[in-house]
Structure 1
Amino acid sequence: MSDTPPVSDRPCDVILDGDRLRLAGHLTIDALQTFDRAAAAELARRAVVIDITETDAVDTAGAWLLVALAGQGQGGRADIHGASSHQSQLIDTVRANMPPPEAGSETTGGMNDRLARLGGRIHGGAGAAVELVSFLGQVVATIGGIILHPRRLRLTSVVHHCQEVGWNAVPIVTLMSFLIGVVLAFQGAAQLSQFGAEVFVVDLIAISILRELGILLTAIIVAGRSGSAFTAAIGSMKMREEIDAMRTLGLDPVTILVVPRVLALIVMLPALGLIADVAGLLGGAVMAWVDLGVSPAAFQARLVGNTDLWHFGVGMIKAPFFALIIGIIGCYEGMKVGGNAESLGRLTSTSVVLSIFMVIVMDAMFSIFFAVVGV
């Protein structure tokens, strides 16, 4: 019996001749089982040309190895010489289907590269902002069309989403606001008692809750609770191609999916803000009574006598704008979901983060505006 190994099992020899790396033998999946890839990669780093003239057989595994070695040559790209037409076609096919390099493997580069990446991010952010504003205009135009033709409004859907974003959120909003009122009263009393001004804790609680914290924290909770739900629901429909099916049937996804959710938020967020204000004041009153001895009657008298109604009005004016931001961003990110679960999770997280960020930015803009007009 002959000891000569089968053709597919013959090993491949690697020889470095100056800046030319010569491969001789077979580059097949069976022969590569004993091939020393680390040693070949080390030699390939000093090569400009990879010569496979003496190579007898190359399959897909061998072509992948050749492309990998060529990518490690001097300058990041060594030329492959000596391939037959069939081998060249196979190598080109493998090279075209190689996975892209990992994002973390990119070099830092010089200042020009950093500026280019910064410019790319700014350009991408500007493009996303334009798309978001365009989506907002589409939703507003659709709502305008519904106002002119009220029969287009899907009232059942609006009522359902009002229950989901409003009524079902009452417990968490109430508890959060009550605890915030308790914390404000406790911390305010600790500081004001040093100056004998404990009674002013009522003013601190009233202004903080009614003007800022009540509606702002409510909007943040709604963004995390309902905004993410909007993205997940619409994104799941996008993954299952239900939205494409709607368009095929001549139905407008914005009218059916987006407008009811946005309208429900615009209606229910002010109501949730009112509940948050009442719960926050109640929590502050309880803590002021327990810690400072301010009776509920005294708390109410100072609250009514020293608190301007505009403090409550400022908070309520913000509510519809916060609701519009949360609804538009949540639905917009849902519409961007692709055909895989990874994009659904990523865009759901993006929806929550972007909604909260934009709500805080809008609150800051309102604060500056009301300070300028003296409200």
Structure 2
Amino acid sequence: MITRTSAPTSAVAALSWMTPDGAPQQRVCRLQGAWNARGLQRQPDTSLPAATQHVVLDASATTLDTSGALLLARSMAQWQAGGVTVDTSRLSDAQRRLLDLVRQRALALPPGQRSLGLLGDIGRATLTALDELRALLAFAGELVWRGGPLLLQPWRVRWREVIHEIDAAGLRAIGIIGLLSFLIGMVMAYQSGATLATYGANILIVNLVSIITLRELGPLLTAILVAGRTGSSYTAQLGTMQITEEVDALRALGLAPFDMLVLPKVVALIITLPLLALFADVMGLVGGGVVAALGYGVPFTEYAARIPQVVGLQTLMLGLVKAPVFAVVIALVGCMQGLRVKGSAAAVGRATTVSVVQAIFLVIVIDASFSVLYNLLRL
């Protein structure tokens, strides 16, 4: 007796349920149509009829591939989870082997990671961070090992690639860095001027804007922008080359990917970032001067004349000396994450996100370390 059918046409995967005479709790599940990727574009209803305790599978009238076997294996797992027994004796040997293979491989999920509580999660995150730090230090060691000899033999540097990277990381970033530095300078002047004006000390806007810009915000803002703009591009570029096996092709040709791809980027960023930081300093001071002149009555000429009285070459250099360190960290993180990409294009996006977050985090940590060091040295 047929109890239910799910079969619009013979070309589409379908199944029918039959109840043998004298066995009200047994059902024969007869597969019909094509149980393959094309026939399963519209999946049949595989829910069990009521009061079913035993199912006999019959696939003699259908074609079965891995797509159909996967759906059948998942359905069987659901039935068996409800206490129903499944008989596959009516399947052919080939169908049974395919079904067993799918059940062993496709349905074999890795064991879930046992939660260790809050302290365990903190420990696991700490170990992950230490692994990332170890990988970064190893990458930095390779940079020293391969880049050290170039200090004595600069003609071995691939200057054409370096100039190309300087253009991409430096010249094309001038606009955004200049604009944001100008706006940050304006904001600092507005915020400090609102308080200083109540005491009639408008001229001290110069002191606040110049010291903060030259020592901190100019290099720091530049490094953060470069980490988001250039560091991410390094990761995306090298990650794409990893997926398309271009890096492996370089190795097959006897060329060192580190020398060809990483060193030019590091050298270019070491040259570029201090110059961008200096440009950001100038634009930040100009932005502060515009607000001081238009909003608080400090003439721009007086503003400009007071800057050398407030800050000297030492203040400028204390800020600029951070830039090469920022540059090395940004380039190393971007290149390391790019060369570690494996799998699909989605891995490039994940690596790019990790690269930007790590680079900005390390830039801020290094900047804070410089501040502590300057304070200890009373600079």
TM-score of the aligned structures, taking structure 2 as reference length: 0.80
- The structure 2 residue matched to 1:90, chosen from 98, 103, 128, is 98
Alignment equivalent of 2:244, drawn from 221, 232, 240: 240
Q: 2:194 aligns with which of 190, 193, 214?
A: 190
Q: How many residue pairs were aligned?
A: 359
CA distance in 1, matches of 2:318, 2:82: 61
Among candidates 336, 346, 352, match of residue 348 of structure 1: 352
Q: What does the per-residue CA deviation read over 1:309-338, in whole Å, with 9 as the maximum and x for residues that have no partner?
A: 433222112101110111111111221233
Q: Which residue of 2 aligns with 1:39?
A: 47
Give the match for residue 158 of structure 1.
162
- Deviation of residue 112 (structure 1)? 3.6
Instruction: Indicate if the aligned counterparts of 1:29 and 1:62 stay in contact, CA closer than 8 A.
Output: no
Provide the rounded CA distance (Å) in 1 between the counterparts of 2:83 and 2:351.
Answer: 37
Amino acid at match of 1:307: V
Q: What residue number does 2:22 align with? A: none
Displacement of 1:79: 7.1
Q: Which one of the candidate residues 252, 267, 277 is aligned to 1:273?
A: 277
Separation in 2, partners of 1:176, 1:123: 37
Residue 72 (structure 1) aligns with = 78
Aligned residue runs from structure 1 range 11-50, under 5 A: 11-13=15-17, 23-29=27-33, 37=45, 39-40=47-48
User: In the alignment, what sits opposite 1:141?
Assistant: 145
Q: Which residue of 1 aligns with 2:306?
A: 302
CA contact (8 A) 1:214 1:273 kept: yes
Distance (Å, rounded) in 1 between the aligned partners of 2:122 and 2:79: 30
Distance 1:334 1:118 in 2: 27
Are the equivalent residues in 2 in contact too, given 1:52–1:81 (CA < 8 A)? Answer: yes
- Tell me if structure 1 keeps the 8 A contact 2:18–2:29: no
Match of 1:334 in 2: 338
Q: Relative to 1, partners in 2 of residues 1:73 and 1:26: Cα closer, same or farther, differing over 3 Å?
A: closer
Change (3 A) 1:201 1:155: same
Cα deviation per residue 1:28-68 (whole Å; 9 max; x = unaligned)?
4459989973633x97xx99x96537776673465334421
> Is contact 1:12–1:23 with CA below 8 Å preserved after alignment?
no
In structure 1, what is the Cα distance between the partners aligned to 2:83 and 2:377? 64
Q: Which runs of 5+ in 1 are unaligned?
A: 16-20
Could you tell me whether the CA contact under 8 Å between 2:188 and 2:209 is conserved in 1?
Answer: yes
Q: What secondary structure, in the 3-state scheme, does the structure 2 residue paired with 1:52 have?
A: strand
**In 1, Cα distance between the equivalents of 2:355 and 2:115?**
32
- Of 360, 370, 374, the residue aligned with 1:366 is 370
Distance 1:306 1:29 in 2: 86
Q: In 1, distance between residues paired with 2:230 and 2:340?
A: 17
| Unaligned residue ranges in structure 2 (runs of 5+) | 1-6, 20-24
Residue range with higher mean Cα deviation, 323-332 or 76-85: 76-85
Map 1:148-227 → 2, pairs under 5 A: 148-227=152-231
CA displacement at 1:210 relative to structure 2: 0.6
**CA shift in 2, pair 1:321/1:87, >3 Å:** same
Give me the whole-angstrom Cα distance separating, in 1, the residues matched to 2:185 and 2:264: 33
Shift of 1:110: 8.1
Deviation at 1:290, TM superposition (A): 1.3
In the alignment, does 2:134 pair up with 1:130?
Answer: yes
Whichever residue aligns with residue 77 of structure 2, its letter is G
2:295 pairs, out of 266, 291, 294, with: 291
Does the aligned pair in 2 maintain the 1:71–1:78 contact within 8 Å? no
**1:318–1:35 Cα change, 3 Å:** closer
Displacement of 1:266 after TM fit? 0.7
RMSD, aligned α-carbons? 3.8
Q: Cα deviations across residues 147-185 of structure 1 (Å, max 9, x unaligned)?
A: 244342112211221222122222222222122111211
CA positional deviation for 1:73: 5.5
Larger CA deviation: 309-318 vs 58-67: 58-67
